[in-house]
């Protein structure tokens, strides 16, 4: 009986230990760059260096940057379907005609991310670009833009 109890206890400890080894490794901080581009103003593009936890979302890196860097701030709003929408960057808010587009440059290619900042998981050395972009409001342009979105 005692032997059984000891075997059971050892098994439980072994399982717990292997679980802790899998989930308990220190989190790696991956370096990323983040640029803010507002071509609607005379403000030159700003570039920041920050880190994202391996497997962590862009929002986490942006929050870390906001806490450590006086000149970077942003706000988000919550959409019931798609999560967090980036509303403003460095005090410049999106409007009916503009929004903060989120792009990523990686290995020389720049693409628009296909989800919000609360879901996107950056890779090491990604260059994230927050770009104030005109949102086409004419019907013709809107349809074109809708196609570009839905093709993805
Ligand atoms: C129009 C549109 C936009 C417009 C909305 C402005 C406006 N005044 O209408 C603009 C250009 C701002 C936009 C931006 C983005 N969008 Co958009 N957008 C759409 C689109 C084509 C239609 C939405 C719509 O009008 N629905 C009808 C209305 C009545 O419903 P609604 O719930 O009120 O719609 C709102 C939300 O959809 C919200 N919204 C739109 N896009 C996004 C993206 C995110 C991440 C969030 C949280 C909310 C949100 O804005 C709408 C108006 O208020 C959808 C695709 C589709 N066919 O549904 C993509 C779509 C929702 N967008 C998408 C994406 C990825 C983005 C961007 C992240 C792209 C980028 N890399 O920059 C950015 C958001 C960046 C940020 N600042 O956080 C994805 C979301 C996928 C996901 N799983 O998260 C979709 C599904 C397109 C796709 N297939 O990839 N978008």
**pLDDT, average across residues 97-102:** 96
Closest listed residue to residue 57, CA positions, set 123, 144, 1: 123
CA 23 to ligand 1 center in whole angstroms: 34
Task: With residue 124 as reference, give the H or E element that holds it.
Answer: none
From the number of C-beta atoms within 10 Å of its C-beta (0-12, 13-18, 19+), residue 36 rates as buried
**Tell me: the pLDDT tens digits for 28-83?**
999 999 999 998 887 789 999 999 999 999 999 999 999 999 899 999 999 999 99
pTM for the whole structure: 0.86
CA 44 to ligand 1 center in whole angstroms: 27
Torsion, Cα 71 134 107 56, to 10 degrees, reads: 60
CA 56 to ligand 1 center in whole angstroms: 22
Q: What is the pLDDT of residue 46?
A: 94
- Give the mutation target among 115, 116, 126 for probing the ligand 1 site: most ligand atoms within 8 A of CB: 116
Under 8 Å CB-to-CB from 112, ≥6 apart: which residues? 101, 102, 103
Q: What is the pLDDT of residue 69?
A: 92
Per-residue tokens: 88: 């403003």
């Amino acid at each position: 009986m005692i032997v059984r109890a000891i075997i059971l206890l050892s098994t439980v400890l072994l399982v717990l230990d292997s679980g802790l080894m899998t989930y308990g490794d220190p989190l790696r901080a991956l370096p990323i760059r983040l640029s803010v581009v507002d071509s609607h103003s005379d403000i030159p593009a700003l570039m920041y260096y920050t880190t994202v936890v391996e497997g962590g979302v862009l929002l986490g890196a942006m929050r870390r940057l906001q806490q450590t860097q006086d000149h970077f701030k942003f706000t988000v709003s919550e959409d019931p379907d798609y999560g967090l929408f980036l509303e403003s960057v460095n005090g410049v808010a999106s409007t009916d005609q503009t929004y903060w587009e989120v792009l990523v440059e990686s290995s020389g290619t720049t693409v628009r991310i296909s989800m919000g900042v609360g879901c996107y998981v950056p890779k090491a050395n990604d260059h994230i670009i927050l770009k104030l972009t005109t949102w086409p409001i004419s019907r013709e342009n809107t349809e074109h833009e809708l196609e570009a979105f839905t093709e993805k």
